[in-house]
Structure 1
């Protein structure tokens, strides 16, 4: 379970071959560790979902699509992380656009020629009709000509942002199409309404078949679609959105399909040692993304998108069953998951999807191993704590705890990192983050009760905040973990 004053480091080392890239990004960009790792996981799922599905031990075949949501305020370097990690996907989209531009010009020329021939056939039909001549052969010609009408090329783009329901259906129309709603500013998705189509989003996460009737009488038919959602959203926007739609999203099981994270800020710890830090491992990660996207492109060109089905090894199946029983036990009224049973019901499937994504991305052969499954479960376990912390009424974070977090950050950055082990209480009050006595004292009491500080009294009655040496010496912010 998470400690609210000291959230644990994200289990990014469980990401198989992607872990070195994650560590490198954390060192170079110095954004919150969970923000970076979740962006990496999101891109991994987006490039694998068009190519693979996974068979659960229950026999169900499920998509590798995944939903991710990061709560992060301005200045957390969300855009920088997204731009560098998702770069191969945007390059794929640009390449597909260039292909489409060529194809559409060819299509227009072919269509003009086809229309000219059709016009000639119609003129012949008028002439024969006037002459009372037989038009049987001409009708056959016109029928064959209708079949030869050029097909309009499809414009494919994985990355989507602003859209409405019809545009979503049009993007996925056909069989086996794959897209991602991705934004480093979640407000775009919120305002665009992409997150409000709860029923459709749930169905698309499941890979379900959908049909929409258009006003012109034509149906939009979506079969075997794949869609992942990933967004980073500011805390205030997220709170407002939950205030309006939170009950519906939770009640419908929509939030249960997300891996949500609210990582601790790295502001105030992002010290620069070089202006152009080197990237060694990231290029390998991006190369692998490119390989999977090229395979997707190859299958598109074949005219039929088919997916391979991943399966678990016997050891992994046994561990999967153990996990299932562990989760079931924790749903009891006195156990950890009883108040977030909606998310708990999806934990094993999300874990299985993530295991499949990591198996493919790290080029593992054969069936998914128990090691990969356990790695995925450890990552999802961090999100279980986050979901409970964010949505469980039993663990709502009080204002005292929030203020204590702010005071602790101040003591760490301004006192401990300045090589001091104590500070006058009045000084911390006058220059620290909490300057209301009615809020400052309870925050100190909270920290003292946890053994992180001790309040001492000087010879003239002045009060000192003494920092616990062992705690602050061992304390590491995520970004400083490998600094």
Structure 2
């Protein structure tokens, strides 16, 4: 395949390495600096940066794909990393500026809330006075038309509660998250650097609504004890960093439901190799120059989201699009992924994931283009990086969510059964005895042979033959002597 500057064909090979951020001067410098300083896995660091970028940009921009569809640029990201991988450290480096801006506006918001409370008391006092006046007029048999009109006018002047500049939600329930999107900013990030809270809580229970928001669709939130409401054009970034044990537990409880709903198909997934044991201190002085530049850029964009607090103005998001060269490559990518869903293809059995992959490629490319401040449309160079990143994430998705083949599950069951012979000190058994005595469902010849072949490939058994008799060696490292 050619360099970033030339037109590629097809997709990066399976098992390609995680890409470096060479085409992204601002982001790449911050990523490299953070990696050098905290020595966390590179995918964990880049996912943290992408989370911050998505949170800051999603309320302001959309991306127009070369097929004409305009979609959100919000991302959903899942990182699996065990304790000690510095998940929280990586997250804090890139999300700290967002929290700082939230705190800045939080001080002003508290002052506005106090003022609103006072105005509400005054309004309530006037409302009661008008009602008392109407009551007296009714009691005296007099016309109340003028007072009723006054009550109507007064009702329209009820002080509106200020909208809070709140973007980040930690381990939030669906009710609190959706209500926040309705009452405050219509853009949010559901963030968890210790994803057990999100996975074990209720945040991911309302899957259809989260799927709809990801797609840019409107949702209706029905409530039993309060008025229902509709969310139009809300944007949601989700970032979950979970330990393997917490994620496995979630999959056991909700896996079929969440996979069947298409939720995880929308995620960029990463389970990076641990860096523990290799994080040696190279020098005592750390520079944060490039991360600080990243932070300042992020703050500028986050503050632009204040325009979304005014819900009386219907603002259309600016749509970023692809250059002619990038559009040609995008179509090539789309067709390659679609073809890969066929039997024997790269995405066989993962059609749900493949159908969202081009969307994620488009979103990542748009986010990187916008955050870097590149001129014009999304370039081929930026798109190629997005392709390499998202296809690496695709390999991770398949590795994590792949359902074992029947022969693999059969092999596990058969090997457990063969342990009976091993426990008796035997190192071989007639193959015919295996067929006659193994679990009933494995006795069909072809099915048993496939399971035995898996165990042989794993080095747990071997085959041998003496005359017409066939044997199963219970230790693949040895062969029998006759």
Aligned counterpart for 1:317 among listed residues 316, 327, 351? 327
Q: CA contact under 8 A between 2:19 and 2:385: conserved in structure 1? A: no
Provide, for residues 187-206 of structure 1, a one-character-per-residue CA deviation record: whole Å limited to 9, x for no partner: 01012221232212211111
Please name the residue that 1:120 is paired with: 129
The Cα of 1:217 is off from its aligned counterpart by 5.5
* Equivalence for 2:282: 273
Distance 2:47 2:405 in 1: 24
Query: Is the radius of gyration larger for structure 1 or structure 2?
Result: 2
In 1, the alpha carbon distance for the partners of 2:384 and 2:286 equals 33
Alignment of 1:37-436 (within 5 A): 37-173=46-182, 177-216=186-225, 218-301=227-310, 303-304=312-313, 305-393=315-403
CA contact (8 A) 2:23 2:381 kept: no
Output the CA distance in 1 between the equivalents of 2:303 and 2:62. Answer: 18
- Structure-2 separation of matches of 1:9 and 1:214: 45
**Inter-partner Cα distance in structure 1 for 2:17 and 2:388:** 12
Is the contact made by 2:87 and 2:193 (CA closer than 8 Å) also made in structure 1? yes
CA contact (8 A) 2:116 2:159 kept: yes
The answer to whether the 8 A contact 1:2-1:385 is kept is yes
TM-score by length of 2: 0.78
Q: Is the 8 A contact 1:12 1:37 kept in 2?
A: no
1:16-39 deviations in whole A, cap 9, x for unaligned? 530110000000000011110111
**Count of matched residue positions in the alignment of Structure 1 and Structure 2:** 400
Q: 1:48 to 1:118 in 2, by over 3 A?
A: same
Matched position secondary structure for 2:289: coil
Deviations 1:264-289 (A, max 9, x none): 00011111134441111111111111
Match of 2:38 in 1: 29
Paired residues of 2:325 and 2:379 also in contact (CA < 8 A)? yes
Deviations 1:241-300 (A, max 9, x none): 112211222222111100000100001111113444111111111111111111111443
Counterpart Cα distance in 1 of 2:100 and 2:384: 33
Q: What secondary structure does 1:293 align onto?
A: helix
Aligned to 2:6: none
Taking structure 1 as the reference length, the TM-score comes to 0.78
Look up the SS of the partner of 1:203 in the other structure.
helix
After superposition, the C-alpha distances for 1:442-465 in whole angstroms (9 at most, x for unaligned) are 99999xxxxxxxxxxxxxxxxxxx
SS in 1 for 2:349: helix
Give the Cα–Cα distance (whole angstroms) in 1 for the partners of residues 73 and 458 of structure 2: 46
Do 1:50 and 1:177's aligned partners in 2 also have CA atoms closer than 8 Å? yes
Q: Match of 1:338, SS?
A: coil
- Change in Cα spacing, 1:166 to 1:302, as seen in structure 2 (3 Å) is closer
Quote the offset at 1:235 in angstroms: 0.8
8 Å Cα contact 2:71/2:216 also seen in 1: yes
Give distance in 1, aligned partners of 2:300 and 2:253.
41
Partner Cα separation in structure 2 for residue 214 and residue 155 of structure 1: 22
